[in-house]
Every structure is written in structure tokens, then in C-alpha cells.
Amino acid sequence: MAKRQTERYPVEGPNSLWQLYKTVSFWKVVKCFTVVQLARYVPWMPFKNWMYRTLLGMKIGEQTAVALMVMMDTMFPERISIGSNSIIGYNTTILAHEYLIEEYRLGDVKIGSRVMIGANSTVLPGVTIGDGATVSAGTLVHRDVPAGAFAGGNPMQIIRQ
């Protein structure tokens, strides 16, 4: 099982989150935050997916269902891709960045087709979830999930392949 694939960027001085706008445009964050917050409440899947694709540059496959209250990355949403016919469960968070004390990290999140991610899960940057995988509710996805696997827990474990 592969580790997360992230790019690391060291920072000098205050913590990396304090220096946020040196790493991403203020106006991009405003736009992405606004679109993500609106999409969290939109109950119509085709319109929600259109918002993600057109306004945020995300790759979202056909018939993918992103449930209410899903929190997509508000700084680097273009680094998230989700295949066709997948379900992202209620209140799940998908991150493509992490700001730490002495560095920040960016990583593409690749979620395959026919993937089921249960409610209240968190997917960290640089993770790939293979086609046909299932992630149980409340899981912290901190490393790759192979295609067809069933994973769950905190820390996440592969329960069945």
C-alpha cells in the first residue's frame, strides 16, 4: 500500500497557515470557499457537479453523487478528481493541502470510479482510492486504498481486498 504522494514546501518565519496568501491568491480562496459553501447545500447532483467542474476545475465523472455538506478543498480544488458513478458520503472532507508549522504540503486526490466513501470521512492530500473501493463511515483516509478493497477506521486499515 503506497504512502501519500505530496509535494513539500518549507517556509521561514511564522507557521505556513499564517503565510497562507503567499501560497495561494486571496481572491482564489474567496471564490473557491464561496462555491464550495454553496455546493454543500445544493441537492441537485447535476448542478452541483457542474459547479465543481466549471467553477473550480475539478474532475468529476458522470453520475457521481456528492452528498450534502461535503467539504471540498477550498484552496486547491483543481487537484481533486473523482471517477464516474461514485458516492461521496454526507459531511466528508476532501483535502488537497495541509498547512503545518514549518512547511505546507500539496497532493492530488484521485478517487476512482464506483467508489463509495461513507459519511463523516476525511481524505488527506496525495491519496489515491482505486476503482470499486469502499471506505466505511468515519474513516481517516491517510494512505492509498487499492482497487476493490474495503477500508475503514482511524487509523484506516484495509479490512478486505
- 90-124: per-residue pLDDT in tens? 999 999 999 999 999 999 999 999 999 999 999 99
Q: How far apart are CA 124 and CA 140, in angstroms?
A: 8
- Please tell me the CATH superfamily of domain 7-160, with its number: Hexapeptide repeat proteins (2.160.10.10)
- 46-58: per-residue pLDDT in tens? 999 999 999 999 9
**What does the buried/exposed string (b/e) look like for 22-55 if buried means 16 or more CB atoms within 10 Å of the residue's CB?**
ebbeeebeeebeebbeebbeeeeeeebbebbeeb
pTM score of the predicted model: 0.96
Q: How far apart are CA 75 and CA 83, in angstroms?
A: 21
Identify the pLDDT of residue 1: 57
Q: Is the predicted pLDDT of residue 67 greater than 80, yes or no?
A: yes
